[in-house]
Structure 1
């Protein structure tokens, strides 16, 4: 049941692969951030800056 607006299957497969790659990268970054936060919490509560944040906010 494909309509005239449906992309070909190869394009859908490429889009799906790209989406899966983005999701996998996001999950890895999330896991790294959560582990860093947990380490900081267990070491006395030092605030974790997270990926990509700079020291000065101004």
Structure 2
């Protein structure tokens, strides 16, 4: 690396990359929450199909 390289990119391309990275993180978090909700829903459906345990 050279000494004149800034520690943080300030070009429009860098801000775009940061925005895209943040969007990817938010999307991943949302998808993980959906999977958790679906798996919790599946567990509830199994109980509903078999009826409550007596």
Q: TM-score, normalised by structure 1?
A: 0.63
Number of aligned residues: 39
Structure 1 runs, 4 residues or longer, greater than 6 Å off: none
Q: Give unpaired runs (5+ residues) of structure 2.
A: 1-10, 50-54
Corresponding residue for residue 29 of structure 1: 33
- Higher Rg: 2
Q: Give me the CA root mean square deviation.
A: 1.5
Q: Give unpaired runs (5+ residues) of structure 1.
A: 1-6, 46-58
Structure richer in helix, relative to its length: 2
Answer 1 or 2: higher relative contact order, Cα 8 Å, separation at least 6: 1
Q: TM-score, normalised by structure 2?
A: 0.67
